Structure 1
């Protein structure tokens, strides 16, 4: 559930989709990322065939990470932290009931980008996260 460190062999093969590890951490969503990775892989193959340079296959991973690397990084951190134990997972699920969290998640999911919501929504979410981490919020 994170992009593999290498998607190509430098000569003949390039990976895309699940094979390349582009399944979003925390949500498991992968169809959009598989299709996008396939598009980048196809472009890399076309460049490889045009130039005869197998190193061009590496451009698929580079293009994907340029566009979505930060999303995978943030979701990976969230998954490692919130899914570390049953207790934390329950707190995470409880936080997801919050309207601000739902709106921010929906916007990010629909746009496949980290979104900047209204600044006050981020502040509210931050304090709600802290309350959950400290066990001050009800689960």
Structure 2
């Protein structure tokens, strides 16, 4: 069973203009948008722009001797996710999705810290330190 809904029929240019307008409205209102929210929004926009519908994405469960997998395929992607034993496929897939979102959030946080460090180094106006031999 597929959980993706058909996106509304909207042109790519209209989506981009709407996205830009929404972000500007939020900024003008002083709303802070977290990086993970932006990543989620971009992923949703990506699906909408690609025009994916439930008929474009197939999801099936393959049960092997040692484990089971959810196989998700569409054009141009495919993804195999190992399911947790003793758990219903949708529940396991949802747990895996949440885990990946948490990992993505952690990586985005780390990247933001690195960018902050770059700014600090640039402000200190120091020459780059040579790597140890």
Q: Could you say whether these structures have the same fold, taking a TM-score greater than 0.5 normalized by the shorter chain as the test?
A: no
TM-score by length of 1: 0.28
Q: Which has the higher strand share?
A: 2
Higher helix residue share: 1
TM-score norm. by structure 2 comes to: 0.29
